[in-house]
């Protein structure tokens, strides 16, 4: 074989070896890890007050780490405190009224009503029975006595009138006698009328009125013995519930004057001063959750089949070379996009990518939002 043939044969063998080597390298590489790069981020939450008001004191500052329940901001609460005190007084009043209705009427009131019933019943019985014979005889005797007094007074008046005519007495003496005669006559007529009433007996109108008064007294006694109506008690109970609801609402509003951190976080934005006004349901501060860091990375379309939610991966950052942080893919976006220019990846930017969210476990809290991070994904995990 000529030298030229040997050269051609060597070239062919070398090409075959290179092709086989490349195939083996691709096979090994396809079973290994691949890397997508991104940035560590933290979930941010905007906190505020549902009631708003004037800022009394700013406790936290931007960049400060806070624990769950730590106070961030205080709002003025004097007006709400006064309203709460008023509502609590109204609640106590409503509760007292409900207790009174449940207890019913006092025994003293019932005893008094019973005495009234007995009194009106006796009066009715007397009217129905009419005057007794003794009362009639006494009325007749009173009338006859009054009649005798009148007759005596009239005879005396006539004598005095005769003496006055003969000018034997003064005019005033006669006038006194006449006045006594008139008074005696009036008394006689009054006793006569009373005697006639006894003879006629009780009128039907008086008996009807007495029956009506007795019926009213008995109805009042039944009401006192039966207690208050169920409707009144239900209305009083509703008033208590309404007053209690107002107290609870004001207590909740009063709690809203103290703005606290809902979880462990870092204060990202808090730009307020004492005296500033904040509106209800408006954010006053932005917090970054320190216990829930995650990596926003971009996965090339060609690698999409190797990643799924709940897949365990590793994260590395430049600040801790050689240290792997355990992580889990929590979400793969379904909409493709182009790689943002501020993210450096190992793939070409012209390729379509899918955003991936990777939750990082950082028990030592060594990571910080904004760090560049690489996510290592094993193809064999699929």
Per-residue pLDDT of the chain (382 residues; tens, 9 = 90+): 556 556 665 665 565 555 545 444 444 444 567 888 899 888 888 999 999 899 999 999 988 889 999 999 999 999 999 999 999 999 999 999 998 888 777 778 788 888 888 888 887 777 766 667 787 778 888 988 999 998 999 898 888 888 888 888 888 888 888 899 999 999 999 988 888 777 666 667 777 888 888 888 888 877 777 777 888 889 999 999 999 999 999 999 999 999 999 988 889 899 999 999 999 999 999 998 877 788 999 888 778 888 889 889 999 998 888 889 999 998 888 877 765 555 555 444 445 788 889 999 888 878 888 889 999 998 754 4
The DSSP call for residue 381 is G
Spatial separation of the C-alpha atoms in residues 9 and 19, rounded to whole Å:
15
Spatial separation of the C-alpha atoms in residues 288 and 294, rounded to whole Å:
12
**CB-based contacts of 48: which residues, under 8 Å, 6+ apart?**
259, 278, 281, 282, 283, 284, 285
| Domain boundary assignment for the chain | 31-46+281-381, 88-104+230-253
For 20-171, list the strands marked E by DSSP: 33-49, 53-58, 65-66, 71-75
Spatial separation of the C-alpha atoms in residues 173 and 167, rounded to whole Å:
11
The H or E element that residue 17 is part of is helix 3-30
Residue 53 token pair: 């008001």
Residue 363 token pair: 């028990």
CATH classification code of 31-46+281-381: 2.40.30.170
Spatial separation of the C-alpha atoms in residues 53 and 275, rounded to whole Å:
9
Q: Indicate the pTM of the whole model.
A: 0.54
Contact between 68 and 192 under an 8 Å Cβ cutoff? The reply is no
Residue 325 token pair: 């942080």
Spatial separation of the C-alpha atoms in residues 176 and 192, rounded to whole Å:
24
Q: In residues, how long is the chain?
A: 382
Helix, strand, coil proportions of the chain in percent (round to 5)?
50, 25, 25
Q: Specify whether the backbone of 70 is left (phi greater than 0), alpha (psi in -120 to 50) or beta.
A: beta
Contact between 290 and 365 under an 8 Å Cβ cutoff? The reply is yes
DSSP per-residue letters across 317-332 = ETTSTT--EEEEEEEE
């Amino acid at each position: 074989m000529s030298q030229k043939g040997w050269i051609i044969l060597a070239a062919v063998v070398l090409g075959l070896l290179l092709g086989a080597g490349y195939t083996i390298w691709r096979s090994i590489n396809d079973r290994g890890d691949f890397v997508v790069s991104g940035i560590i981020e933290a979930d941010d939450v905007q906190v505020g007050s549902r009631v708003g008001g004037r800022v009394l004191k700013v406790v936290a500052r931007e960049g400060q780490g806070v624990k769950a329940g730590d106070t961030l901001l205080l709002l003025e609460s004097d007006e709400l405190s006064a309203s709460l005190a008023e509502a609590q007084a109204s609640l106590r009043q409503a509760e007292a009224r409900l207790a009174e209705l449940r207890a019913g009427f006092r025994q003293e009131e019932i005893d008094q009503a019973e005495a009234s019933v007995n009194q009106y019943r006796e009066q009715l019985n007397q009217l129905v029975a009419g005057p007794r014979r003794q009362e009639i005889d006494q009325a007749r005797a009173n009338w006859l006595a009054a009649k005798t007094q009148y007759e005596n007074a009239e005879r005396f008046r006539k004598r005095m009138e005769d003496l006055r005519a003969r000018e034997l007495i003064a005019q005033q003496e006669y006038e006194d006698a006449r006045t006594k005669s008139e008074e005696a006559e009036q008394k006689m007529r009054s006793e006569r009328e009373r005697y006639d009433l006894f003879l006629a007996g009780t009128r039907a109108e008086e008996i009807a009125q007495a029956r009506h008064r007795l019926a009213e007294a008995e109805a009042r006694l039944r009401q006192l013995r039966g207690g208050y109506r169920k409707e009144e008690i239900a209305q009083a109970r509703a008033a208590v519930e309404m007053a209690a609801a107002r107290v609870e609402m004001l207590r909740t509003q009063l709690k809203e004057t103290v703005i606290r951190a809902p979880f462990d976080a870092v204060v990202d934005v808090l730009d307020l001063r004492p005296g500033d006004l904040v509106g209800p349901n408006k954010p006053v501060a932005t917090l970054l959750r320190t216990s829930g860091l995650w990596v926003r990375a971009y996965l090339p379309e060609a690698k999409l089949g190797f990643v799924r939610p709940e897949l365990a991966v590793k994260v590395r950052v430049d600040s801790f070379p050689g240290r792997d942080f355990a992580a889990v893919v929590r979400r793969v976006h379904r909409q493709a996009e182009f790689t943002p220019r501020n993210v450096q990846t190992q793939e070409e930017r012209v390729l379509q990518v899918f955003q991936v969210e990777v939750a990082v476990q950082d028990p030592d809290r060594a990571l910080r939002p904004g760090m560049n991070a690489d996510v290592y994904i094993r193809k064999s995990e699929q």
